[in-house]
Amino acid sequence: MSEVLSFSESEARFLETYLPIEKKDASKLPFVTLTFATSLDSSLALAPGVRTQLSGAQSKAMTHYLRSRHDAILIGVGTAIADDPGLNCRIDGVGGYGSDGLDGQPRPIIIDPSARWTFNEQSRIFTFAKEGRGRAPYIFTTNSSPPAESVELLQKYGGKYIPLKVDPTDVEHRRLDWKALLERLWQEGHHSVMVEGGASIINSLLEPQNQALIDSVIITIAPRWLGQGGVVVSPKRRTDQSGAVIPASLLQQVRWHQLGEDVVLCGTISP
Ligand SMILES: NC(=O)c1ccc[n+]([C@@H]2O[C@H](COP(=O)([O-])OP(=O)(O)OC[C@H]3O[C@@H](n4cnc5c(N)ncnc54)[C@H](O)[C@@H]3O)[C@@H](O)[C@H]2O)c1
Ligand SMILES: Nc1nc(=O)c(N)c(NC[C@H](O)[C@H](O)[C@H](O)COP(=O)(O)O)[nH]1
């Protein structure tokens, strides 16, 4: 069997107030957790397209625990291409890892506006789906005719393409409409989603008009600098009414917790 991770309920206690709750409002939007691993210079990877392990063993297990606590896990196509990710939960006891069925396995969601991600049965995500250790992805795209063999493979394992709604004020750049996307996830029965990256997805979600959609932030900080040329999280600047530059975003209800050599920062976005 491939790797099996463990993360106990007692280790997870510090996360509890940041984990998804069923929302009481009528928004019909999933609970959104923004989560990623970063270096000290805010890099997610050494260079675009380069898979870079930042999390240590314990914080990696924490990320997989978080996956088990969400209905869906979302990445951009840049990450799908760079990482060939599994996007399943490999925690002991979760569906496919000690128990039957797919309980605790999140639905992978991939944002791929032009359907440029090519995949086959050997792609890791399908390997896990085939073995009953993960789900096939839902791919959001504006491409109305993705390759037939991709459509077929998705169908075979219970995945699909879903039309991606773009921001009506910026159709030219095919900027996704986050609210419409989240509404669609809710309609699909996904009431919590963990946004894992990469950098351009995170920077987009942190734009002023989108950040109110984020319910919780859980960031792993690894004790190293990756250096210039990395894939950096640094959202657009904001200005106040007078035109002065102000911080792009602030966290409140902040908590720091050490896991191995990494530190995990939890918080909520300040309105
Ligand atoms: N350290 C971590 O936690 C972590 C997490 C995820 C990815 N990564 C790394 O990050 C790198 C990938 O990051 P990236 O920024 O290049 O790619 P990405 O995964 O953010 O995907 C970028 C693509 O997503 C789409 N996209 C993003 N924002 C959009 C928007 N607002 N509207 C419409 N489409 C949008 C576009 O097609 C864009 O090309 C990889 O090297 C990967 O290994 C690291
Ligand atoms: N928490 C975290 N620490 C890291 O050091 C790192 N590189 C990622 N990256 C997130 C990204 O979404 C990757 O694609 C998946 O971590 C790969 O997922 P799998 O393990 O294959 O399921 N995430």
- Distance from the CA of 245 to the center of ligand 2, in angstroms? 33
Tally of helices (H runs) and strands (E runs) in the chain:
6, 13
Closest CA to 42 of 262, 249, 230, 255: 230
21-67 pLDDT, tens digit each: 887 777 899 999 999 999 999 999 999 999 999 999 999 999 999 99
Contacts of 271 (CB under 8 A, 6+ apart): 212
Q: What is the mean pLDDT of residues 168-173?
A: 75
**Average of pLDDT values for 72-77?**
98
pLDDT in tens, 77-101: 999 999 999 999 999 999 999 999 9
Q: Read off the pLDDT of each residue in 170-180 and give the average, rounded to a whole number.
A: 84
Please give the pLDDT value at position 151: 98
Continuous segment of H or E residues that includes residue 82 = helix 77-83
Predicted structure pTM score: 0.97
Let me know: does 222 contact 200? Beta carbons within 8 Å.
Answer: no
In tens, the pLDDT along 137-150 reads: 999 999 999 999 99
Task: Supply φ then ψ for residue 4, to 5 degrees.
Answer: -125, 130
Place of tokens 């773009």: 166
105 touches 88 (CB < 8 A) = yes
What is the pLDDT, as a whole number, of residue 195? 98
Nearest CA to ligand 2 atom 14: 85
- Tens digit of pLDDT for each residue in 176-210? 999 999 999 999 999 999 999 999 999 999 999 99
ipTM of the predicted structure?
A: 0.98
pLDDT above 90 coverage of the chain, percent: 91
CA 241 to ligand 1 centroid distance, Å: 31
Do the beta carbons of residue 198 and residue 76 sit within 8 Å?
Answer: yes
Strand pairing class (262-269; 251-259): antiparallel
Residue 167 scores a pLDDT above 90:
no
Q: Which residues contact 17 (CB under 8 A, 6 or more apart)?
A: 253, 266
Which ligand minimizes its atom distance to the CA of 60? 2
For residue 189, what is the enclosing H or E element? none
Average pLDDT over the chain reads: 95
Ligand 1, residues at Cβ distance < 6 Å: 36-37, 44-45, 48-52, 54, 75-79, 82-83, 111, 113, 174-176, 196-201, 204, 231
Q: How far is the CA of 205 from the centre of ligand 2 (A)?
A: 18
Backbone angles phi, psi at 79, to 5 degrees: -75, -40
* Angle in degrees, CA 64, 68, 73, rounded to 5: 80
CA 133 / ligand 1 centre spacing (Å):
24
Give the Cβ contact number of residue 29 at 10 Å.
19
pLDDT above 70 (res 1): no
Query: What is the rounded CA–CA span in Å between residue 152 and residue 126?
Result: 13
